[in-house]
Amino acid sequence: PEARPPLPPRPPEPGRLGPEGHVGPRPPRPPLDPIQDFEVSVRRELGPMMEMVKDLGGPPIQERLQQARRAFEERRFEEGRDMLRMVGRQLRELHELRERDPKRFKLQREIAELDHYSALLGQKVRRAPNEEAGKQAAAELREVLNKLFDLRQEEREMNVRQIEGELKQLRESLEQRKARRDEIIKHRFDQLTGKAQMLDW
């Protein structure tokens, strides 16, 4: 009888290795739902910090979250995830600052909110429908900028006081080292010559 031609190799099942070790064809991935992907990314990047957005970050952080959401809606997924990662870092830093220095946290929070509001007022001035509306928005913007300047000045004064405190500690440490000069040199000599181990028991 006439020999039959060999049967073609059976295609590997999806996800299994074929005869040459290649993965077989996978079923096509369903199209991404931008909003669902945004919500999944928010849970992954922010986690429990999401509950603190309003208390910690206020309007500026909420605006960044809206920008990230718009990036997902426009299918700029990587850009949106980068924004969420940045928001997550900011929230963690704000949380640590609130625990460590509540006064400075409150000041920085107020500065961030006024800075955000001043940008909105600037847009309002530029887009004013008439001269009167523009004057009102400009007057409000000047008032906000005056307050913002005073708060930033207060923050800088806090920074200066902190630096002065650190400098004072450094000077005290320097004076202590100077007073203990011979003792420090002797201890280092003993370390280098192997005698320090006998003294440390």
| pLDDT value of position 201 | 44
Residue 200 has pLDDT above 50, yes or no: no
| pLDDT value of position 176 | 94
Residue 199 has pLDDT above 60, yes or no: no
| Per-residue exposure over 102-132, b if at least 16 CB sit within 10 Å of its own CB, e if not | eeebebbbbbbebebbbeebeebbeeeeeee
Q: Which SS3 state, helix, strand or coil, does residue 107 take?
A: helix
15-43 pLDDT, tens digit each:
555 555 555 555 555 556 788 888 888 88
Residue 88 — φ and ψ, nearest 5°? -60, -45
| pLDDT value of position 131 | 92
**Residue scoring higher pLDDT (136 or 194):** 136
Pair 16, 24: CB distance under 8 Å: yes
Give me the amino acid identity at 190.
D
Length of the chain: 201
Residue 164 has pLDDT above 90, yes or no: yes
| pLDDT value of position 49 | 80
| pLDDT value of position 60 | 85
Residue 174 has pLDDT above 70, yes or no: yes
Calculate mean pLDDT across residues 103-126: 93
Q: Position of tokens 């004013």?
A: 128
116-158 pLDDT, tens digit each:
999 999 999 999 999 999 999 999 999 999 999 999 999 999 9
44-96 pLDDT, tens digit each:
888 888 888 878 878 888 888 999 999 999 989 899 999 999 998 988 898 89
Residue 178 has pLDDT above 70, yes or no: yes
